[in-house]
Amino acid sequence: MLLDILSMILSAVFGFFTMLLLVRTAMRFMRISFVSQLGQFVLATTNWAVLPFQKIVPSIGKLDLSALLPAWLLQALLALLLALLGGHSLGQPLPLMTGVLIIGAFELLRSALYLLLGVVLLGAILSWVNPYSPFAGPINALTRPFLAPFRRILPPISGVDLSPLLLLLVLQILLYMLNNLQGGVARLLFV
């Protein structure tokens, strides 16, 4: 029971910082200003991980690898720690590190999908409750590119935008497929 609680705490802490690093990556990619309260919070809580990588890892176009790489490494480290806590046999270092990095990549992708799911839900709720909230601008900017294709397929019906529902359904399907794929890969890596 104590190991389960420790695993839960580690997953929550690592997940929190991974989400913030992903938000920072998305904001930089979409050229969303960090002047807002949300932007300042993201910068203040992720600079410790990003600033050292900015000196050695270049950006690729608009993609900020100095924020994405620490997020991936955090997820890989979490996978290693959870494997150790679970009592798994670690084996040889090279296959272990390869497996941990692959599982970290799957977890990073899962975190990105959950982040998008949460931002879409938050954006929909804010549009009903308080569309002029200081968070509405950055959230709308983050979700707009993902909602645009669905808005072309399904225009608003009587002023109600149903595109978030379609996007949420697609995200759920992607998460289901990712879980199945990750399970298969994990069985191959950690036999």
The 10s digit of each residue's pLDDT in 28-84 is 999 999 998 889 999 999 999 999 999 999 889 899 999 999 999 999 999 999 888
Segment 147-169 mean pLDDT? 91
Q: What local confidence, expressed as pLDDT, does residue 155 receive?
A: 87
Residue type (1 letter), 5: I
Indicate if the pLDDT at residue 191 is higher than 60: no
CA triplet 68, 108, 96: central angle to 5 degrees?
100
Segment 2-21 mean pLDDT? 95
Residues 6+ apart with CB under 8 A from 129: none
Domain boundaries, the chain: 2-189
Q: What local confidence, expressed as pLDDT, does residue 111 receive?
A: 97
Which residue has 């690729």 as its token pair?
60
Which structure tokens are listed for 156? 């608003």
Indicate if the pLDDT at residue 115 is higher than 90: yes
63 - beta bridge partners?
60
What proportion of the chain, given as a percentage, has pLDDT over 90? 64
Q: What local confidence, expressed as pLDDT, does residue 190 receive?
A: 61
Q: What is the 3-state secondary structure (H, E, C) of 137-151?
A: HHHHHHHHHHHHHHH
CA 45 vs CA 50, 67, 153, 160, 181: distances in Å: 10, 12, 38, 36, 32
For the four alpha carbons of 56, 59, 65 and 67, in that order, the dihedral sign comes to: positive
User: Which of residues 94 and 143 earns the better pLDDT score?
Assistant: 143
Predicted TM-score of the model (pTM): 0.90
d(CA 49, CA 54): 9
**C-alpha closest to that of 73 among 29, 24, 14:** 14
